[in-house]
Amino acid sequence: MRITLIGPGRAGLSIAYAAKKAGHEIVTVVARRPDAARNGARKLDAVASVLDRQLAPSDLWIVATRDDAIASVAETLAERLGEGTDSPKTAIHLSGLSSIETLAPLREFGVLIGSVHPLQTMPNPEVGHVRLHGAWFGITADPGSYDNLAAFVQSLGGRPFVIADEAKPTYHAAAAAAANFTLVNMVVAQDLLDAVDVPIKVLGPLMEAIVANAVEIGPRAALTGPVARGDVDTVAAQILAVAEHAPAMLGIFVSNVASLARIAGRWDQFADLVDEHTS
Ligand SMILES: NC(=O)c1ccc[n+]([C@@H]2O[C@H](COP(=O)([O-])OP(=O)(O)OC[C@H]3O[C@@H](n4cnc5c(N)ncnc54)[C@H](OP(=O)(O)O)[C@@H]3O)[C@@H](O)[C@H]2O)c1
């Protein structure tokens, strides 16, 4: 496919690098600042442009701006179509949360709209484009465009699945719970390990196994450890250690004991311990 990238940030450039590697042509890189467009375009052998210029023809527009800029960028792009820029067959954005309707101004020019959300973290394009290989991509699409977008995702080595437009906020909250909230507990672990001079890397294989179990048999079935076993004395000893070595993390630790006890159906056993340490 011939692709136009609008918004050469972390996600946009990651997808564009992966697309180029897969044999697609990145025709134009569009940014609001000419230097940002030039930087992105150089690495992709593409033409650099800005939003107020006409665009060369392409098959797919990827609007990779931040979520809050998608609607206004779509309106600007619709103006370009109104002035004679050739319509692409399809235009997508990359947000897991925003409705595809943010791209609706493009529909009146015959463009099919959708979103392709990589369930992956892309801190920069060099790392990001490699991580897209094997990642799952949530696709929301106008009727008639899912197959094309799924084929595009597969060409990048990604794994497509359908996500309905109205389901996106719920789906995005799930992704945040898994990807972002897990890091809260990693910070707790880091502070405790720092206190006893153990590097955080030792947790790698354990965390990988926990994640593998959770996606394979489900997180509830994957529960292990003293709370799941109902071992109150062990958890009480852990709480004392946290209070001594990472007191700033005590609230998070105790609230997680409470959540876990409820999920494991052991709240009756842990209620007193939790109350004792909840101010
Ligand atoms: N990064 C990830 O790991 C990740 C993962 C999944 C999905 N996504 C999605 O990908 C999209 C982009 O996220 P990102 O992390 O790549 O953000 P980013 O690194 O901040 O890049 C955003 C790009 O959009 C441009 N932009 C912002 N406002 C604009 C405007 N009003 N007009 C034109 N261009 C504008 C920025 O240009 P300037 O440099 O001029 O600001 C930049 O090139 C979001 O929808 C996000 O939800 C990201």
Give residue 67 CA to ligand 1 midpoint distance, Å: 7
The pLDDT value given to residue 19: 98
Cα separation, 278 vs 276, in Å, equals: 6
In a shared domain, residues 69 and 10: yes
Structural domain for 191, as ranges: 170-276
In a shared domain, residues 206 and 122: no
Alpha helices in 177-231 (DSSP H): 182-195, 204-217, 226-229
- End residue of a domain, out of 121, 141, 163: 163
Give residue 193 CA to ligand 1 midpoint distance, Å: 35
Cα separation, 77 vs 53, in Å, equals: 10
Residue 182 has a CB neighbour count (10 Å cut-off) of: 12
- Residue 274, CB half-sphere, CA atoms under 13 Å: how many? 18
pTM as predicted: 0.94
pLDDT along the chain (279 residues), means of 10: 98 98 98 96 97 96 98 98 97 98 98 98 97 98 95 98 98 97 97 98 97 97 97 98 98 98 98 95
The pLDDT value given to residue 61: 98
- End residue of a domain, out of 99, 129, 163: 163
Give how far Cα 242 sits from Cα of 207, 251, 253, 277, Å: 20, 10, 8, 11
Nearest CA to ligand 1 atom 31: 69
In a shared domain, residues 137 and 27: yes
Q: Which atom of ligand 1 is nearest to the CA of 8?
A: 43
Give residue 183 CA to ligand 1 midpoint distance, Å: 22
Give residue 108 CA to ligand 1 midpoint distance, Å: 25
The number of distinct structural domains making up the chain is 2
| Candidate of 55, 62, 65 to mutate for ligand 1, largest count of ligand atoms within 8 Å of Cβ | 65
The pLDDT value given to residue 279: 76
In a shared domain, residues 48 and 87: yes
Specify the CATH number for the domain of residue 80: 3.40.50.720
